[in-house]
Structure 1
Amino acid sequence: MDVADVSGVPPWFADHLRAEGIESLYPPQAEAVESGVTDGESLVASVPTASGKTLVAQLAMLSAVERGGKALYIVPLRALASEKREEFSIFEEHGVSVGVATGDYEDTGEWLADKDVIVATSEKVDSLVRNGAPWVDDLDCVVADEVHLVDDPGRGPTLEVTLAKLRRINPALQVVALSATVGNAADVAEWLDAELVDSTWRPIELRKGVHYGQAVHYGDGSQQELRVESGEKPTAAIVRDTLADDGSTLVFVNSRRNAESAAKRLANTTKGRLDREERQRLAELAEELRGVSDTETSEDLADCVEAGAAFHHAGCASEHRSIVEDAFRERLIKVIAATPTLAAGVNTPSRRVVVRDWRRYSGEAGGMQPLSVLEVHQMMGRAGRPGRDPYGEALLLANSHDELDELLDRYVWADPEPVESKLAREPSMRTHLLATVASGFADSRAALLEFLDQTLYATQYRDGGGTDNLERVVDTTLEYLEANGFVEGGGDERLEATNLGHTVSRLYLDPMSAAEIIDGLEATAEPTALGLYHLVSRTPDMYELYLRSGDDEEYTMVAYERESEFCGDLPSEFEEERFEDWLSALKTARMLEDWASEVDEDEIAEEYGVGPGDIRGKVDTAEWLLGAAESLAGELDLASVPAIREARKRVQHGVGEELIDLAGVRGVGRKRARRLFEAGIETRADLREADKSVVLGALRGREKTAENVLEAAGHQHPEMDGVVPDASAAPEEDESAAEDGRGQANLGDF
């Protein structure tokens, strides 16, 4: 189908596609148009990666805008939201306004009301619905990217309930669901009352196989020699072979440690394949990476990148991951060793994908478990980019002939498992039942069940006893919510959220987290910072740090030494599981306390065995939960509000109490705040009236930084022309790393 033959889209869109080199639609895209995607018809598109799913979404959204409507694009990750916002921003030159929403869960996003296309995570959309964002009523088209994630126990129920609510709000809503790997796409289409495009077509060939011995054994029965040299690992041999054909490689492993060690080894393979210009650009990137944080992770990643390799995992800071992804897309970085999180939709195609580790540790199983076919196929789908690669190739690694046969059967020849709703799990139900009642979608048990009948769970299990199970979970959850004062009524009576229940829903808290926080605050008149950090760390909304060997003894001693600071009673050591959870929360709280006490980031990373991404994740979560605790304390008229606010501000900025005001100035942060404080500038007001030479001296002579900081503080004359730094204001400690740019830009400086 020629792009000019597509009806319903804006007149300029065909010329835009031609400018992008697209003259005609791919077969799955043409099938989507024939199924009515530009006429407002709902659609499930289950088509391989690189087969044009995003263009199908654009056709749906732009045709909705052309009809005078508004479109929403739902993604699973913040990083993907930013990527899609940038991708869609090109439409703004044609008068289509684009906005992105990923942040504050209490924000109603009113500023998005005049946007034509909005990009948001499923959690953000859920919170917007809860908080009554008025523009949600005006949606005409919703795109759900990576819809197979309804199968994920953590995030799946949110996407499922959110789509059900959006369809309830807007009965004529067009829903376009996209995925590369849905084993039961027909079930999803039935749930969404949608047409189905289920295709295996790809613009370039994806060859799947298993490397064993000295050859690749493909799924079609053919073989190709790929020799492993003496002393060489199979992964390195594959990377070397790919580089010889000017290709890049993604290597998926099962842990952060393995990602880092693999990248370091593979750097030995890539470094000899770089030309002079690449080495220079990679050296510049390495310095940029070192500037992200003053941790060993930054240093190790920079060392790998200088040699053309990289690792990618959740312990890396978001800036680390963004820099690596961009350089890999440019084929400047030749190989990334990554955990499976990189397969979750971020655009990082490569010539070859190697699934090195097809098992990972499962706490539930108590050992190593095989990955699902769906997960492996998601990884494999990263191989091959149209217009850049002549083909894509995805390989697993076998150590024996039996394993070769097993991997071919298990992954190469297998179809992805069907996605299954995880909505009936109690943790999901707590959150979503309260929100459903609080936001007015249901005012009785019967109305709740009627609403839940519109979910994927009901579609899948209506005929197999699932309805009875759903009713049991609903009743158990309502009892819990009523017992904790979040809802009133139940049974056949009118069901409504209490004021407290409305607050919990608006704050986007798991009701169990709210109950834990309330119990802790009511038990403690004057909580300390550690007590508050520990309180939020033991909620279900905070992922606690893992207790390593020897930690039990250390944190048991700390628990008894600081028992008086806890919000609530220390459990008995004989309650083994509860006591261990308490200690894990204490370890997390101690990390937050260190951060708020200005301990250097690299020391925190080493002490707690975490990366800069972990630190930032825990800090952001603690700030959110303490903000929620502050709201709950205000709702309950507790005296602890000022203490909670101070603890929140300290963890937000990573500073002691005396620096809170100063660190809140844009561009200051924890290290610069301390330098300014030691130079006699103790508050924002002081900074506004400060002697510029003192400020410049405290900021180590950095004129642009000093100007920006003074301007943010409201100084009347922030310009630094002719200002000489006051030597007496310069920090005494030797911070040569800061001078060369490595230490200044750690995450606390922003």
Structure 2
Amino acid sequence: MNPTDVSGLPSGVPDVLRESGIEELYPPQAAAVDAGVTEGESVVASVPTASGKTLVAELAMLSSVHRGGKALYVVPLRALASEKKAEFERWSDFGVEVGISTGNYESSEEWLASRDVVVATSEKVDSLVRNGAPWIDDLTCVVADEVHLVDDPSRGPTLEVTLAKLRRINPGLQTVALSATVDNADEVADWLDAELVKSDWRPVDLRTGVHYGDAITFADGEQREVPVGRGERPTAALLDDTLSEGGSSLVFVNSRRNAEAAARRGADVAEDHLTDDERDDLAALADEVAGVSDTETSEDLAAVVERGAAFHHAGLSAEHRSLVEDAFRDRLLKVICATPTLAAGVNTPSRRVIVRDWRRYDGEFGGMKPLDTLEVHQMFGRAGRPGLDPYGEAVLIAKDHDAMDQLFDRYVEAEPEPVQSKLAREPAMRTHLLATVASGFARTRSGLLDFLDRTLYAAQSEGTERLESVVDSTLDYLVANDFVERDGEEITATALGHTVSRLYLDPMSAAEIVDGLRDAEDPSPLGLYHLVCRTPDMYELYLKSGDRETYTERCYEREDEFLGRVPSEFEDVRFEEWLSALKTAKLLEDWAREVDEDRITERYGVGPGDVRGKVDTAEWLLGAAERLAVELDLDCAVAVREAKKRVADGVREELLDLTGVRGVGRKRARRLYEAGVESRADLREAEKSVVLGALRGRERTAERVLENAGREDPSMEGVSVAEASADGEDGDGDGSDADTRRAGDGSAADSGDQQASLGDFE
């Protein structure tokens, strides 16, 4: 099918598609058009990675906007949201305005009403519905990217309930769901009242197999010799084989530490395949990577990047990940060694994918658990980029013949598992039941059951007994904690319940916070950090070897600061959770005391991305705690507000006025303070030479800071650096400052990649 044969699109769009190299639609794309995707019909496209799913979404959204409607594109990851927004902006010449919304979970984002296409995470869309965003009523098309993630226990229920709510609000809503190839795509299509387009077609041939001994054995029985030298690792041999043909490789391993170690070994292989020009470009990229933050992780990443490789995991900052992904797409970086998170949607194709580790640790399982077939197939799908790779290869590694047979049975020849709703899990149900009542979707038990009947869970369930049991126990919990009230058959959200729903809190988190704040007279920052760190919405740091003794001692040293009863050491699980929360709270306290980021990452064994994730989550939870304190008229609201500001900006109390100036983060604020510039008012009156010296002689930075502080004449023309301030280390790593996060689209959380259950699927 030629693009000019597609009806319903704005005039000129087919020509743009042809100019971009699309002479013929891929078979799955043509099938979606035949199914009516440009005529407002709902479609589920279950096709392999790189088979053109995004264009199916674009055709649906463009045709919907052309008919006078508004489209919403729902993604699982913030990074993917940014990628898709940039991609969709190519349609701005046709008057299509694109907006993005991923943070600030207590806002209705009314400005998005002026956008034709909105890109947002499923959590953000859920919060928009809860906060009554009026433009949600105007939606005519919703696209759910990676819809198979309804199977994910942490974020799947949100996607599932959000789609059910959007379809309830807009009965004629066109729903386009993009999915990996899964066993029960027909069930998903039935749930969404959509036509199913299912295909195994790929634009680049994908060969899958297992490496054992000195060869890869592919699914079709053919072999490719890849000998492993004496003392050489199979992964290194596979990398060298790919690079010798001009290809790039993705290596999937099961932990951050393994990703970093594998990247060092990958760099040993990659550097032998670099041209002189590539070495120069990589040296410049390594400098950029090292400049992102003053941490060991940053230095380690820069060291391997300079040699043509990189590691990729949730411990990296968002800027690190972006630099690595862009350089890999440009084929400057030859090897990425990653944890499985990279397979979750971000566009990083390669010639060969190597799945080195097919087991990972699972606490609930009690040891190393095999990965799901669907997850491994998602990794496989990263192999082969249209237009650049003549083929793609996905290879597992076996240590013996029995393991090779097992890998063929489990992954190479197996079909992906069916997706199963996780909505009945208790954390998901209590969160979404409260939101359903608070936002008026149901006002009785029968109304709740009727709404839930629109979910995938109901579609997959035989009978209603299990669902009714979970609903009843959840309602009992919500009533007991004063989030909802029952009056006969009528169920209504209390004022507190409405607030908790709008704040996007797990009701159990809200209950923990409320109980703690009610006992607080003059809470310390550590006490407040610990309070929010022990909620379900914060992923706590694990206790490592020796930590129990260390944090038990700290627990008793600062026992009077905790908001709530300290569990007995004999309550093993509760006490360990309490100490894990304390460790996490201590990280936040160090950050708010201006401890250097590199010392924090070393002290707690985390990466810069983890620090950002914990800080952003704490800022959100403390903001919610402040709202709850005000709602309940508690005296501690001011203390909570100050603790929130300190952790958000990463400073001691005396710097809060300075960090309130846009462009002044924790490092710049401290240098200004030590130079005698202690407040916003001082910035308006201080000698310019003193300000310039404190800002390391950077005139443009100084001018922006003075302008943001309200100085009438911020110009630094003719100003010389004050001698007393000119010396010292140039530590202007302010890209990591909290103010830099605020300089984005208005959401501090948007720079973070991991915001507990709110953030990046990491």
Give the shorter-chain TM-score range.
Answer: over 0.9
User: In the aligned structure 1, how far is the partner of 2:66 from the partner of 2:739?
Assistant: 44
| Residues 251 and 337 in structure 1, CA contact (< 8 A), matched pair in contact too | yes
Q: CA deviation at 1:691?
A: 1.4
Q: Contact 2:649–2:737 at 8 Å: present in 1 too?
A: no
Q: Deviations over 1:522-581 (max 9, x none)?
A: 011111100000000000000000000111111111111101101111111111111110
The answer on 1:636 being equivalent to 2:635 is: no
Within the candidate set 511, 521, 536, 1:525 is matched to: 521
Q: Which residue of 2 aligns with 1:556?
A: 552
Q: Distance in 1 between matches of 2:639 and 2:363?
A: 37
Deviation at 1:668, TM superposition (A): 1.1
The answer as to 2:482 corresponding to 1:485 is yes
Alignment correspondent of 1:746:
736
Query: Partner amino acid for 1:436?
Result: T
Residue number in structure 2 paired with 1:21: 21
The residue that corresponds to 2:760 in the other structure is: none
Among 463, 468, 471, the alignment partner of 1:471 is 468
For residues 730 and 587 of structure 1, the distance between their equivalents in structure 2, rounded to whole angstroms, comes to 38
Which residue does 1:726 correspond to in 2? 722
Residues 236-635 of structure 1: pairs in structure 2 closer than 5 A: 236-461=236-461, 463=462, 465=463, 467-489=464-486, 493-635=489-631
CA distance in 2, matches of 1:684, 1:77: 37
Structure 2 equivalent of residue 187 of structure 1: 187
In the TM superposition, residue 230 of structure 1 has moved relative to its aligned partner by 2.1
- Counterpart code for 1:652: A
1:114 matched residue in structure 2: 114
The CA deviation at 1:222 is 1.0
Q: 681-690 vs 373-382, which deviates more?
A: 681-690
Structure 1 residue identity aligned to 2:336: I
The answer to whether the 8 Å contact 2:10/2:94 transfers is: no
Per the alignment, residue 652 of structure 1 pairs with: 648
- Whether the 8 Å contact between 1:267 and 1:304 is mirrored in structure 2 is yes
Question: For residue 166 of structure 1, what is the aligned residue in structure 2?
Answer: 166
Whole-angstrom distance in 2 between the partners of 1:730 and 1:537 = 41
Q: CA deviation at 1:711?
A: 1.8
Q: Do structure 1's residue 706 and structure 2's residue 702 form an aligned pair? A: yes
* SS across alignment from 2:50: coil
Spell out the pairing of 1:128-167 with structure 2 (5 A cutoff): 128-167=128-167
Cα deviation 1:131-159 (Å, max 9, x = unaligned): 00000001000000000100000000000
AA in 2 matched with 1:537 = C
CA RMSD of aligned residues (A): 1.0
Residue identity matched to 1:704: R
Aligned equivalent of 1:43: 43
Amino acid at match of 1:717: D
SS, match of residue 207 in structure 1: strand
Runs of 4+ in 1 over 6 A off after TM superposition: none
- Alpha-carbon deviations, 1:613-638, whole Å to 9, x = none? 00000000000000000000000000
Q: Secondary structure at the match of 1:495?
A: strand
Alpha-carbon shift at residue 749 of structure 1 (Å): 6.4
CA contact (8 A) 2:662 2:739 kept: no
SS of residue paired to 2:482: coil
Report the Cα offset of residue 688 of structure 1: 2.1
Amino acid at match of 2:716: M
Whole-angstrom distance in 2 between the partners of 1:246 and 1:730: 49
For residues 457-516 of structure 1, the C-alpha deviation after alignment (integer angstroms, 9 at most, x for no partner) is: 00011x2x4x111100000000000000000016x5211000000000000000000000
Amino acid at match of 1:72: L
Correspondence for 2:754: none
Alignment of 1:659-738 (within 5 A): 659-730=655-726, 734-736=728-730, 738=731
* Displacement of 1:747: 4.0
Deviations 1:643-694 (A, max 9, x none): 0000000000000000011012111100110000011111112112221100
How far apart are the structure 2 equivalents of 1:8 and 1:714? 52
Counterparts of 1:735 and 1:271 in 2: how far apart (Å)? 33
2:667–2:737 Cα contact (<8 Å) kept: no
Contact persistence 1:64–1:141 (CA under 8 A): yes
State the one-letter code of the partner of 2:518: E
Contact 1:206 1:393 in 2 (8 A): yes
Name 1:56's counterpart in structure 2: 56
Shift of 1:232: 1.4
**2:206 corresponds to:** 206
Per-residue CA deviations over 1:680-715 (Å, capped at 9, x if unaligned) read 111112112221100011112122221221122122
Unaligned runs of 5+ in 2: 741-762
Contact 1:294 1:746 in 2 (8 A): no
Q: Residues of 2 paired with 1:707 and 1:181: CA distance?
A: 54
Separation of aligned partners in 1, 2:660 and 2:373: 48
The one-letter code of the counterpart of 1:568 is G
CA distance in 1, matches of 2:620, 2:305: 34
C-alpha contact (below 8 Å) 1:206/1:391 kept by paired residues = yes
The amino acid that maps onto 1:17 is: L
Whole-angstrom distance in 2 between the partners of 1:99 and 1:699: 35
Question: Which whole-Å CA distance do the structure 1 matches of 2:119 and 2:686 have between them?
Answer: 42
- Residues of 2 paired with 1:291 and 1:572: CA distance? 45
Match of 2:224 in 1: 224
Q: Contact 1:73–1:143 at 8 Å: present in 2 too?
A: yes
* Aligned residue number for residue 102 of structure 1: 102
Structure 1 CA distance for aligned equivalents of residues 74 and 446 of structure 2: 30
Amino acid at match of 1:683: S
Number of residue pairs matched? 740
Cα distance in structure 1, aligned partners of 2:658 and 2:302: 32
Q: Is the CA contact 1:292–1:747 (under 8 Å) kept in the aligned structure 2? A: no
Q: Match for 1:205: what amino acid?
A: D
| In 2, Cα distance between equivalents of 1:395 and 1:642 | 57
**Contact 1:291–1:746, Cα closer than 8 Å, also in 2:** no
Cα deviation, residue 730, structure 1: 4.0
Q: Percent identity?
A: 71
User: Counterpart of 1:713 in structure 2: which amino acid?
Assistant: A
Mapped contact 2:48–2:199 kept (Cα < 8 A): yes
C-alpha distance 294-357 of structure 1, shift in aligned 2 (>3 A): same
SS at match of 2:207: strand
Provide the C-alpha distance between the structure 2 equivalents of 1:711 and 1:383, rounded to a whole number of angstroms: 50
The Cα of 1:744 is off from its aligned counterpart by: 4.8
**TM-score for both structures, normalised by structure 2:** 0.96
Q: What is the deviation of 1:181?
A: 3.0
Supply the distance in 1 between the matched residues of 2:203 and 2:230 (Cα, whole angstroms): 37
Which amino acid in 2 is paired with 1:700? Answer: R
Deviation at 1:166, TM superposition (A): 0.2
Cα distance in 1 for partners of 2:735, 2:5 equals: 52
Does the 8 A contact of 1:181 with 1:378 survive in 2?
A: no
Are 2:143 and 2:175, in contact at CA under 8 Å, matched by a contact in 1?
yes
Report the secondary structure of 2:350's partner residue. coil
**Contact 1:293/1:747 (<8 A) preserved:** no
8 Å CA contact 1:252, 1:354 repeated in 2: yes
Alpha carbons of structure 1 residues 96 and 744: separation in structure 2 relative to 1, 3 Å = closer
Report the AA paired with residue 206 of structure 1.
Answer: L
In the alignment, residue 678 of structure 1 is paired with which amino acid?
Answer: E
